[in-house]
Amino acid sequence: MIKSTAKYFLKALAPSKVLQSRVHKRVYMDFAEKVGLVYFGYVDQRTDEHRLVRGLTLSPSHRDNHYCIGTFQKYDVTLVERMDTLRFPGKPPKNHTWVVMEFDLHTRTDLPHVFLGLHSHSETFYAHLFTKFATLVKAPLGTFGSYDPAFLNRYAIYTEPAKTLEAERIFDQETTKIIAERFGTLTIEISENCLYLYAEHQRPTEALLERMLKYGVWLAETIDTPKH
């Protein structure tokens, strides 16, 4: 009886997942068409036929779908939905789904690796992060002035020990105040002179993708503009 009940629920679940996948596909396709990106769908990270989205979510086991690429307001943009299971000794495995948007920065300055992480990220997420990037430390903010409490209550800035002042100059009080006001639960990374925005565990909607694109371009322009 238990086995038959389990089979019933599995059969009922399968069409639901198929329907959800179709809905997600339509959202990404409509968004891509609206903003001028090209939609490719599923891509295999082991092939060289597409540009691999890197950043902190890159792993040997991740799976990418709804891959889109193109140019928007002079920025090369790549969009992908990435799924992975994060495992760490002593921590429970966690399934993660990210909507990732990557922007190629124009600056010729060699930028440090910086991650703006939410305090709400799981222990497994941070354990995995600090294993992959062992040199990252929490930047002690406040060298050039006080930060908005709304930002400090939501985010911490992580970078290499020798780059904390540089990271603080990039994400200064004015920039982080706007991030706290507009970015919601998006997380941010600069790596190899690319900007990454991450929406984790969120249902993809056109409104979410438009917000990521709008504020991603704004932040890319902010980073690319020299500060005196």
Residue-wise pLDDT for 57-83, tens only, equals 777 777 888 999 999 999 999 999 988
The predicted pLDDT at position 127 comes to 82
The predicted pLDDT at position 131 comes to 85
**Distance, CA of 148 to CA of 163 (rounded, Å):** 21
Per-residue HEC secondary structure of 130-185 comes to: HHHCCCCEECCCCCCCCCCHHHHCCEEEEECHHHHHHHHHHCCHHHHHHHHHHCCC
Helix (H, G, I), strand (E, B) or coil at 98: strand
Write out residues in the chain with pLDDT < 50, as ranges: 1-6, 8-10, 12-13
Give the 3-state secondary structure percentages of the chain, helix then strand then coil, rounded to 5. Answer: 40, 30, 30
Q: Where are the beta strands (DSSP E) in 30-90?
A: 37-43, 63-72, 75-88
> What pTM was computed for the model?
0.87
Write down how long the chain is: 228
The predicted pLDDT at position 86 comes to 75
- Whether the CA torsion 83, 185, 103, 24 is positive or negative: it is positive
- Domain limits at 212? 2-224
The predicted pLDDT at position 37 comes to 96
**Distance, CA of 96 to CA of 182 (rounded, Å):** 23
Please tell me the total count of domains within the chain: 1
The predicted pLDDT at position 115 comes to 96
Q: Are 155 and 167 in contact (CB under 8 A)?
A: no
Residue of 224, 204, 228, 202 lying closest to 73 (CA atoms): 224
The predicted pLDDT at position 3 comes to 47
The predicted pLDDT at position 17 comes to 63
